[in-house]
Each structure stands twice: as structure tokens, then as C-alpha cells.
Amino acid sequence: MASRTPSPTAARPERNPAPGPAAPDPAGASASERPRRRLSVDERREQLIAVALELFSLRPPEEVSIDDIAAAAGASRPLVYHYFPGKQALYEESLRRAGRELAGRFEEPAEGPLSERLHRVMGRYLDFVQSHGPGFAALLRGGSVAASAGTSAVIDEVRQAAHEQILSHLAIPDPSPGLRLTVRAWIANAEITSLEWLAERSLPLEELQLHLVQEFVASLVLTAAREPALAAELASFFADERPDGPTGRLVQDLAGLLAAPGIAEAVTALATPAPGEPSPQATD
């Protein structure tokens, strides 16, 4: 359920699986038919959106009909059409709510080690993917019949919210184009990785959560290796991290890997620039 202000009606067990014939009264069925109060126009609209969001989260839009939504809302088909011109409008409104809910999950107090903050956010993000992803996955994959300028705008807004949250936690005054690219690319990584996970569920969600955070840390380090200004910020970032946090565990895993026989020798050989040649290593 993605409405941020919980709808008092959506959760009620009043759903009517077999609504009677068309009842185009927008205020709902008569009070004598069922023991419930009439919903106000706003409440009814919110209820329809909440019900639609639930259905659209579970199944792709082509597998959800207006009749399904009407049935789940205990409403008639004409009543749904009274509020929304068609399925696409209801789908887009559901997606907009889902997007707002998701963007809300990105908010995190600016306290504690950065990788632990991101780890908490990713836990909430992956919960969302699990509960809402099945229905919206096709849209993100780009193959949905319901894709439109409206749906693209919502997706862009969510990506933008993620981008801004990350930059605000990094607290780097004037992020370079390279750092912005790194952040965007990592967001794409998180999207595609969670979509793949939804399709195959080939590893535990907690592992995915840790991996994505560690990949962000690694991307940040890689970017810092190219950008001296970011390198200076990296020292304080590392100083705040803890050995049992995602960054600490990454450092330990990498230290173990790079000390392994075969790898250690090869990496040591690579660490020395080729002798007698002008170094091709560009510093800017």
C-alpha cells in the first residue's frame, strides 16, 4: 500500500468480488445494500488509486482490467470510469503514488557512516522492489505497453530523487561531472540489478543489499582515483566507516582476495609502470 497518508477505506474488508450491474452513482451503492458509510469523492478516488496500485504492483498493466479494479474496490465499472478516463490514467496515477512512496524511502538522516546509511536505504528500496516490483518491472525494462511520457516523467523523478539524496549525503559542495556520472551509473546498476533479481531471485536479498552498497563504495573510490578533489574527501569518508560495516567488510574481502597466491604477484607486477616507456597514465 503506497499511499503516504493511509487511506481509512482501502484496507477495509469490504471488497465485493462480484459487484452488481452498473451502478453509476458516484457516491457508491446505497447505504441499505451494505453496512458502510458513503465515501466522499476524495475518499473514493483515493480508495480506487490504492486498490489499483495494489493490483498494478502485482501484475503488469495488461493483466489488470478496469473490472478487476472495480471488483477489488467493491465498486462498479462505470463508477471507476467516473473518476478516471481509462486504465492508463489510473495506471499513471498509481505509478505516481508508487514513485512518491519510493522516493520517500530514500530519505535518511545524515548520521553515522555513509555506507551504513546507504545500506539502510537499500533495505527499504529492496523491500519496495519485492512488494511493488512485479507489476512495474516491465515499465522499467522499457517493454511495457503502458509506457508513456507520463510514466517516463515519474521514473525520471524517482531517479532524480535518488541522485539528489546521494549527493546530499556525500555533502561534496560542487560535485564534478565525473562524480555525477558515477552516481547516475550506480543508480542504473541498482535498478537493473534489482530487476534481474526479481526475475530470477538467484541470491538472498540481504546479499544484494550489501553488494549494491559495496559497489557504490567501489565506484566512489574509482572516481576518486581519477579526481584529486574527490580523493581529499575520501579520507574523511573512510575515517567514519566501521570495520563491521559494508565498507569495512569490503576492505577485508578485497584484502583477502588481493593477498591470494597468484593474484598478489600479478597485482604487484602491475603496480609498477612499464619501465623505459613514457607513462601513459593521464592525470587529467
CA distance to 12, 40, 186, 188, per residue, from 195 (Å): 31, 38, 14, 11
What's the CA gap between 220 and 222, in Å, rounded? Answer: 5
**Which residue carries 492508463 as its cell?**
88
Of 15-23, 29-37, 76-84, 182-190, which segment contacts a second copy by CB under 8 A?
Answer: 182-190
User: Closest Cα to residue 103, out of 144, 179, 154?
Assistant: 154
Least separation in angstroms between residue 71's CB and a second copy is 28
Least separation in angstroms between residue 39's CB and a second copy is 35
Candidate residues 94, 175, 191, 213; the one interacting with a second copy per rule CB under 8 A: 191
- For the segment 41-60, give every residue that binds a second copy (CB under 8 A): none
Candidate residues 32, 109, 269, 276; the one interacting with a second copy per rule CB under 8 A: 269
Candidate residues 11, 31, 41, 181; the one interacting with a second copy per rule CB under 8 A: 181
Q: Which CB sits closer to a second copy, 18 or 270?
A: 270
| C-beta atoms surrounding 46 within 10 Å | 20
Q: Which CB sits closer to a second copy, 110 or 235?
A: 235
Candidate residues 9, 197, 209, 213; the one interacting with a second copy per rule CB under 8 A: 197
Contacts of residue 154, Cβ cutoff 8 Å, sequence gap at least 6: 92, 95, 96, 99
- For the segment 228-267, give every residue that binds a second copy (CB under 8 A): 231, 234-236, 238-239, 241-244, 247-257, 260-263, 265-267
Of 33-41, 89-97, 147-155, 160-168, which segment contacts a second copy by CB under 8 A?
Answer: 147-155
Binding flags for a second copy, 203-232, as an x/- string (CB under 8 A): x---x--xx--xx--xx-xx-xxx----x-
Least separation in angstroms between residue 198's CB and a second copy is 12
| 50: enclosing H helix or E strand | helix 41-58
User: Closest Cα to residue 186, out of 121, 243, 235, 242?
Assistant: 121
Termini Cα distance of the chain:
49
4-40 burial, b at 16+ Cβ within 10 Å, e below that, comes to: eeebebbeeeeebeebeeebeeeebbeeeeeeeeebe
52 backbone dihedrals φ, ψ, rounded to 5°: -65, -40
What's the CA gap between 87 and 80, in Å, rounded? Answer: 9
- For the segment 87-126, give every residue that binds a second copy (CB under 8 A): none
Least separation in angstroms between residue 25's CB and a second copy is 38
Candidate residues 20, 109, 149, 173; the one interacting with a second copy per rule CB under 8 A: 149
Told to check if 63 binds a second copy by CB under 8 A, we report: no
Candidate residues 26, 189, 205, 229; the one interacting with a second copy per rule CB under 8 A: 189
